[in-house]
Amino acid sequence: MGVSKLKIPKICEHCGKPFEAKTVTTRFCSSTCANKSGRARKQQAKEIEKKQTILEQSANQIAEIQTRPYISISEAVILFGISKDTIRRLIKAGKIPAINLGQRLTRISRVHIESMFTAIDIPQEKPQEEKPVKLQYEQSECYTIGEITEKYGVSPSTVDKTIRKNSIPKRQVGKFVYVPKIMIDKIFGGK
């Protein structure tokens, strides 16, 4: 069987030019294109391998950083994805314990920063005033302002002033402000 006289119209997989192939399995217009394609593929494989190595190295680096109680600012950037400026601000504000081992050798507490950056997001969404003053008293142990004015015959503004003056813990529930009976009774009842 000699060389087939059949010519098959094809597109070169490397240069994209149309050509007439001698066999159905021919993929390139010339040996030059075939060689170039092979090299390009090898190059690509090399690059993928390189990226893989970088990924593995960074994973190893992160794992290693996570074993140390004190880390550098750059390592904190890698670990938490926050900026150096943010970290420096937190250190300055005394929010993160840091030790200075010399110029450019600041080490910060990893555990500390870890607890900050896992805890910070959720509660911050609520406005500040929504945080009620912690009140250990049950609602049944409290008066509303209305109940105090009724019981002791004092004006709401007097009640309000008294609460503030004595730093009585209060809790707002809907429209009502609740204050502990025991503290109110002591002030108004003792008169």
Q: Does 10 bind Zn ion (CB under 5 A)?
A: no
- H or E, element range at 71: strand 70-72
Smallest separation (angstroms) from Zn ion to the CB of 78: 45
Smallest separation (angstroms) from Zn ion to the CB of 19: 7
Of residues 29 and 163, the one with the C-beta less far from Zn ion: 29
Rounded to 5 degrees, φ, ψ at 14 are -95, -55
Number of chain residues interacting with Zn ion (CB under 5 A):
5
Q: Which of 13, 20, 16 is nearest to 34 (CA)?
A: 13
Smallest separation (angstroms) from Zn ion to the CB of 38: 13
How far apart are the C-alpha atoms of 119 and 93, rounded to whole Å? 18
Kindly identify the residues of this chain, within the stretch 29-58, that bind Zn ion according to CB under 5 A. Answer: 29, 33
Rounded to 5 degrees, φ, ψ at 41 are -65, -40
Smallest separation (angstroms) from Zn ion to the CB of 47: 22
Give per-residue burial for 24-40: e unless 16+ CB within 10 Å, then b.
eeeebbeeebeeebeee
Single residue of 3, 4, 15, 104 touching Zn ion by CB under 5 A: 15
Of residues 12 and 184, the one with the C-beta less far from Zn ion: 12
Residues that bind Zn ion (CB under 5 A): 12, 14-15, 29, 33
